Amino acid sequence: MENPFIYSFNEKRYHTFNYYLKTRYNTKVSKVILDAGFTCPNRDGSKGTGGCIFCSNKGSGDSNIAFREDILNQYEENKKVMDRKWPNTLYIPYFQSFSNTYGPLNKIKDMLEPFIKMDEVAEIAIATRCDCLEDDTVTYLSEISKIKPLWLELGLQTSNNEVGELLYRKYTFEDFKDALDRLNNTGIKVCVHVMNGLPFEDKEGMLQTVKDINHLPFDGIKIHMLHVLKNTRLGDMYNEKPFELISREDYIELVVKQLELLRPEVVVQRLTGDPIAEDLISPEWVLNKTTILNDIDKLMRKNNTWQGKLYE
């Protein structure tokens, strides 16, 4: 069956990050996870303490093998892992832990300056929140994006404010949209994080999140399955009273439907997560990432569908 999707050079029927990078750099590009020592307004008491209910004490940087070392030491140590898989690649320093624009501008500059002029660095990625973008920070990041393509990864999880409040997110969908408007036309690329399987949200709500963001100014998306992790508020909730999580089969069908709705030029950076096995409470099926991605591909081919087929 011929692949009708134009942003692909293999069997994939969605706009993979690999396709984006290969067509731009003509070589393998690897992300190097880093922790720059930032915190979050939802942890330091500015808006709350303890973070969102699903967030671990590493702020999503659980796979960083050199957690909290000097930033350049982290880069070199974590880069070795990538080099064993893919020698002679380019790199994307990925500031993943917590909210990496939540702090004074000089701290953000100290985080980025070592990487801006590195020839081996293709792009830079910064995870943060929509409420951690001061005007001087946006101006500075816009200037950096003219030197190195720069991604801001903004967690949304859901467009439903009631669910967001139950997640202890401490910002609204309206706040998120305002941030995208401020970042539009700055040269900064935006990757939106959404999360499936959230407690209190049904499948229609998860599809609605994609519909709600589809016409907003953003460039990439990460779709996650909710992981219930140890040492999180959600983990405590689950241990006290287990709640039903989406099955593997239902998750795959849901992601395919979300991709059908998503506009085709959006770069899909992730379709499931990478929890650390010893930190995971549930669901265990998320540990088999490769088979999940393969089965998404199989279902899209079976249904003769592709990213954006139902985009309006």
pLDDT tens profile 225-248: 999 999 999 999 999 999 999 999
Residue 74's DSSP bridge partners are none
Rounded to two decimals, the pTM is 0.95
52-61 pLDDT per residue, tens: 999 987 655 4
Taking the C-alpha atoms of residue 183 and residue 189, their distance in angstroms, rounded to an integer, is 8
Class of domain 17-302: alpha beta
Mean pLDDT of the chain: 93
- Mean pLDDT to the nearest integer, 74-101: 91
Please state, in angstroms and rounded to a whole number, the distance separating the CA atoms of residues 268 and 237.
31
What integer pLDDT is reported at residue 59 of this predicted model? 54
Please report which helix (H) or strand (E) contains residue 125, including its range.
Answer: strand 124-128
What are 21-33's pLDDT values in tens digits? 999 999 999 999 9
HSE toward the beta carbon, residue 79, CA cutoff 13 A? 16
pLDDT at 57: 77
Please report, for the chain, the start and end positions of each structural domain, with discontinuous segments joined by +. Answer: 17-302
Place of tokens 């982290």: 74
Nearest to 42 by CA among 55, 51, 32: 51
Which residue's structure tokens are 């020592």? Answer: 37
